[in-house]
Amino acid sequence: MTKLSVNINKVATLRNARGGNVPDVVKVALDCERFGADGITVHPRPDERHIRKSDVNNLRPLLKTEFNIEGYPSPEFIDLVLKVKPHQVTLVPDSPTQLTSNAGWDTKSHFSFLSEVLDKFNNAGIRTSVFVDADPEMVEYAAKAGADRVELYTGPYAVAYSKDKAAAIAPFVGAGKAARSLGIGLNAGHDLSLENLNYFYQNIPWMDEVSIGHALICDALYLGLEHAIEEYKNCLR
Ligand code: PXP
């Protein structure tokens, strides 16, 4: 079964637009779980423009499903994750000012840094995942550095899907097979949507988890959160 982790950054963006606590990020996360999400993902950034450190702390004791914290492993991020001890940490190579993640790690050039950081999380018993492009070599070096999983950056798949879906999926199947043969887990995320998710799943059904935020929250405006989550779960069958 491929799990659906709902990324709730956008809910925090909406809350922060007005100050106050509407919508309530913790309540939305708990409702996502109630509506069938298998996990909750947050991406605390240094400027706290969406998820805040306090959200991370507030969510941890209340979530019943899998908690995934993603972000760039700065000293502050590492301290927060080691303190909160989520089920999974996903390392992303984005700079503090970046709008959103737009590439995976070069796991070969950053091998020593990643090995050192992964060691800290592995020793703390937190499952580790490294965000990579659909490139078997990047998957291989993530595994060598000690990652339990890779998360494939699916932005390029989403862009290419509407033109030629067979060509769009091909590199992801290759990278997914590399992960499987190396014996590590496989996640995927970024720009996955109701349009492109089922085809991705059908071609890589051994995936452990997808992490979806932007499109799901946008769909919830029309469908409602419960129905939107149901529809995304249906794409994973
Ligand atoms: N995975 C990672 C590493 C991300 O940074 C993001 C965006 O925060 C996602 C998945 C989810 O992407 P989207 O919001 O496009 O579904």
Percentage of the residues of the chain whose pLDDT score is greater than 90: 95
> pLDDT digit string (tens) for 214-234?
999 999 999 999 999 999 999
Catalytic one among 33, 43, 66, 151? 43
Q: Probe ligand 1: pick from 91, 92, 100, max atoms within 8 Å of CB?
A: 100
Q: Is 43 a catalytic residue?
A: yes
Catalytic one among 70, 140, 151, 209? 70
* 3-234 placed in CATH 3.20.20.70: yes
pTM score, two decimals?
0.97
Q: What does the chain come to in residues?
A: 237
- Give the residue extent of every domain in the chain: 3-234
Distance 228 CA to ligand 1 centre (A): 17
> pLDDT digit string (tens) for 161-187?
999 999 999 999 999 999 999 999 999
Ligand 1 binding pocket includes 90 (Cβ within 6 Å): yes
DSSP state of 65: S
Determine the Cα–Cα distance for residues 92 and 130; give it in Å rounded to an integer.
7
Nearest C-alpha neighbor of 177 from the set 140, 144, 210: 140
> pLDDT digit string (tens) for 54-111?
999 999 999 999 999 999 999 999 999 999 999 999 999 987 677 777 899 999 999 9
Determine the Cα–Cα distance for residues 12 and 87; give it in Å rounded to an integer.
21
Determine the Cα–Cα distance for residues 104 and 138; give it in Å rounded to an integer.
9
- pLDDT (0 to 100) of residue 22: 97
Cα separations in angstroms, 199 against 55, 120, 165, 173, 185? 34, 36, 8, 11, 20
Determine the Cα–Cα distance for residues 96 and 87; give it in Å rounded to an integer.
24
Residue nearest to atom 11 of ligand 1 (CA): 190
